[in-house]
Amino acid sequence: MSAVACNKMASFGTNKALKRTWKQICLLGCLCLPVHSYAEQALCADEKDSEVCTPVNELQITVALGIGTTTNPLYQSENTPLYIVPDVAWYGENWYLDNTEIGYQWQNTDDFAMETFVSINGERGNFSRGFATNVFLPEASPGDSLTSDPLPSLPEVPALDEDSNETVQFATNIGVDDVAERDWAIDAGVRFHWYKNDSEWSLSLLQDISSVHKGQQAIVTYRHKYHLADWMISPAFSLAWKSANLLDYYYGIDVRDGVSENLFYDAKAGFFPSVRVSVRRRLNENWQWLIFGKYTHLDKGMTDSPLVEESERMTFFTGVTYRF
């Protein structure tokens, strides 16, 4: 299901609960709990990897049903409950579609692979209630500037009498509903993979091509697969660097937000380490048992913002998956 199609479906009808359900379904498909790798999808001859590979030129749709949550680190924001998690993938000889990423692979060997791609930047998801990272497309086009009118400023604090003993309490946090809307962005990038046995190193370099945040990202990831009888355990560790332009667009506070100057904040570039693990057990040809968890530590360049309350983002999900 494409994000655009989800956007249209979510706009049908007046029932708020129904629209919220559609949005959550579309959002959760972008979480990509079944971890894809082009080499895994294209090389399906290895029987032990048949649980995770997608045959070439076949559209693969998987739905996970269970319970979980993704936390939202922003002030006065809601966590995202996980009940239905769709995953859509198609891999051709060179072109591929993997949820919100479209790419072209230039090289693929047993030891090395390289692709270029475009994908939706996930930071916008923190600003939509009930949504998580790499999520539902907002209605605004990626090239537009901020279109929402700034909200009124916080009331001015009256000057104190010199003889007064009263103290002034300034607000130190602000909610996402009190600032201007942050737009969604499209990133373009290149990714390199190095394989050895059941281990994989990857390096991704991304640049905003939609002129929204005008920033960059670099992500290094190590992943290993363990096969234990009917179980597959796949831990991964990654370190992401995000530029000042990217973090300042989403978490900086300035005149665009129409708030008191004491809340203004210029975000700095930062590093975001994370660890994730997925555990799968095949039940039959179509069904699997899945446990997934991810923890990301947020850099001070982001967490020092008045918009941010928590220093980590976490996802946990457990349930079953069905491959159509």
pLDDT tens digits along 184-214: 899 999 999 999 999 999 999 999 999 999 9
- Identify the residue with better confidence: 122 or 236: 236
Residue 297 has pLDDT above 80, yes or no: yes
Structure tokens at 266: 């210029």
Question: CA-CA distances (angstroms) from residue 96 to 50, 84, 258, 265?
Answer: 18, 24, 42, 40
Strand partners, 226: 233
Give the least confident one: 154-158, 175-179, 184-188: 154-158
Single out the residue of 114, 280, 110 nearest to residue 195, CA to CA: 110
- Identify the residue with better confidence: 56 or 55: 56
138 contacts 128 by C-beta, under 8 angstroms: yes
pTM equals 0.74
Residue-range domain boundaries for the chain: 3-323
Query: For residue 214, which phi and psi values (nearest 5 degrees)?
Result: 60, 30
In angstroms, the CA 303 to CA 309 distance is 7
Q: For residue 47, with 0-12 CB atoms within 10 Å meaning exposed, 13-18 middle and 19 or more buried, which class applies?
A: exposed
150 contacts 257 by C-beta, under 8 angstroms: yes
Among 16-25, 146-155, 252-261, name the most confident range.
Answer: 252-261
Residue 139 has pLDDT above 80, yes or no: no
Locate all alpha helices (DSSP H) within 160-267, ordered by sequence: 244-251
Residue 157 has pLDDT above 50, yes or no: no
Residue 71 has pLDDT above 50, yes or no: yes
227 contacts 48 by C-beta, under 8 angstroms: yes
In angstroms, the CA 57 to CA 78 distance is 39
Q: What is the pLDDT of residue 208?
A: 97
Residue 4 has pLDDT above 60, yes or no: no
Single out the residue of 122, 156, 153, 115 nearest to residue 137, CA to CA: 122
Cα 127 to chain centroid, rounded: 12
Residue 140 has pLDDT above 70, yes or no: no
In angstroms, the CA 58 to CA 87 distance is 14
